[in-house]
Amino acid sequence: MSGRIAIARHVRVYTTQRRIRLATFVFVAALLSVCYYAIVSALEHQGYLGLQLAFFGEKAALALHGLPPRIVNVGFVYPPLSFLLQLAFPTPLIGQAVIAGFAVAGVLDFLNANVADRALRWIAQAYVLASPVFLYLTVEDHSTLLFALMLAVSVHAITRFLRDDYSLDLFVGSTLLGLTFFLDFRSAALLFAIVPAAALPLWRRSRAQAVSVALTIAVPTIFFAAAWSYVNWIFLGDPFAYAHGRGSFFRTFPVTPALLAAAGDPWQTARLAAIALVGSLPVTLPYFVGLGSLRGGRATYTIPATVVYASPIVFIVCSIFGGLYRPTIALLAVFMLVLFFSLDAIKPSRLLTATVAVSLIASFFAPFVSPSSDERAFGNALIGRGAVAANLAPFRLLAAHVGANGPILIDDSSLYPLVYTLGSPERFILPYQYEYASALSNPAPFVRYVVVARRADDTIYALYPGAEFGRFPHFHETYRLPEYIVFERDGAT
């Protein structure tokens, strides 16, 4: 009887602890969501908004209020997972704040439950809450935040499988790795490192087990990639439209001469990757300290676990080799989250704790030295330099010069923030619409305004080279910015 009482007491205590943990998680997530919403709203009021949020905001507005509101503006936006999650909320800002709040609350809960070293745990939690690297993701880029989190959890689970040989860890890690394809298709390249690392050490012991492990890791990613490519091929005529189509945010990535030179060239790829990794060392140093401190005395665990842990490095190398790399502080968060979710597999040390603290301090300078003008603007916005940081300012000026009425012709591959800023998506004639080709060849019968981006990949600018000099058939120039020109139809009233 006493044994039953003890078991019942233990169950009650366990249940109570679980309820307290869940309630704490929900409370922290709600509190963080409110804080993140206040920050992103204040930044937008200053005139700053992350480009991916503006991209998602435009696609959502077109899906609900465009002419016509077509499924292509929902079903084929890439990355789809983060977009559809955000679409469930009334505005992109609310979606960003709530998704980030729950994601960060999950990270804090994991660190609290799995990191025994108190100093290291507190510094890691402070890092996730206060570092501008993470703050950029939590208030402006929930898509990369979700990608970094899912990759980190996948690395954690697969590493646990390598250590404990527990099949559920392998299933969870493989599924999450597959789902990252819907956040960043470049993650599929990680299979080339993770599959051999996990399967080859098992080959001598059991070939059947090695093959089953390889298939378990590879199949989710291959299935999701094949299914999404097939859907894109059937509906859009291009199986890789998610990589370079108009619905893909990755189409907006800048292509530099150095990246073009490195694409497909192993030596140039290694050179550019080394430059990127060395340049990020002030922030990513604790990740590399962790790389050299993975627990385990046997090579059959330590070597495969090291390769899996090195996934962020493999990701960067493969992105550069494929010509799809974009230098961004967001990638620094990928390194740090992989470190934080691997702390239970890393030997604790004062050196690791010290480098995390130094990295936290260094991360406050990261936005200001970022190659991305968008991220530099974010840093300036955080310290109140609104005039410098207002990346929405040119689009608000454009919106003020297209009046309140009349159709507008644009190529939204670069002018998508204008659609978001104006707030009247039904006024725009865009490339996804049937009449776009007719309006492009002869705009006067279709639109009152034409807005041109002064860049080679803008369809209108390429078709009408005279626009650079203020000449446009049946239109006259009304406003010009360094990067954009507004034309109004002659005789329009």
pLDDT tens digits for 108-130? Answer: 999 999 998 899 999 999 999 99
d(CA 493, CA 490): 9
**CB-based contacts of 467: which residues, under 8 Å, 6+ apart?**
452, 460, 461, 485, 487
Tell me the C-alpha to C-alpha distance, in Å, between residue 479 and each of 156, 160, 401, 483, 485: 54, 60, 7, 11, 6
- Collapsed DSSP state (helix, strand, coil) of residue 50: coil
The reported pLDDT for the residue numbered 432 is 82
- 451, 365 Cβ separation under 8 angstroms: no
d(CA 389, CA 384): 8
Handedness of CA 171, 176, 181, 187 (dihedral sign): negative
The reported pLDDT for the residue numbered 381 is 84
- Collapsed DSSP state (helix, strand, coil) of residue 377: helix
d(CA 22, CA 421): 39
Residues of the chain with pLDDT > 70: what percent? 94
Residues in the chain where the model's pLDDT stays below 50: none
**CB-based contacts of 420: which residues, under 8 Å, 6+ apart?**
49, 54, 57, 58, 61, 395
Q: Which of 285, 289, 283 is nearest to 363 (CA)?
A: 283
Q: Tell me the longest C-alpha to C-alpha distance in the chain.
A: 95
Whole-structure pTM over 0.85, yes or no? yes
Q: Report residue 182 as tokens.
A: 């819907």
The reported pLDDT for the residue numbered 245 is 78
| DSSP one-letter code for 66 | S
Q: Which residues pair with 484 in a beta bridge?
A: 453
Pairing, β 471-472 against β 475-480? antiparallel
Q: Report residue 223 as tokens.
A: 């299935």
> How many CA atoms lie less than 13 Å away from 37 in the CB half-sphere?
18
Q: How does 360-398 read in b/e, with b if 16+ C-beta sit within 10 Å?
A: bebbbebbeebebebbbbbbbbbeeebeebbbbbbbeeb
Phi, psi values for residue 443, rounded to 5°: -70, -30
Phi, psi values for residue 6, rounded to 5°: -65, -40
The reported pLDDT for the residue numbered 456 is 85
Write down the domain spans for the chain: 2-46+78-382, 393-489
The reported pLDDT for the residue numbered 139 is 93
pLDDT tens digits for 449-479? Answer: 999 999 888 899 999 999 999 999 999 999 9
The reported pLDDT for the residue numbered 348 is 84
The reported pLDDT for the residue numbered 69 is 65
| Identity of the residue numbered 202 | L
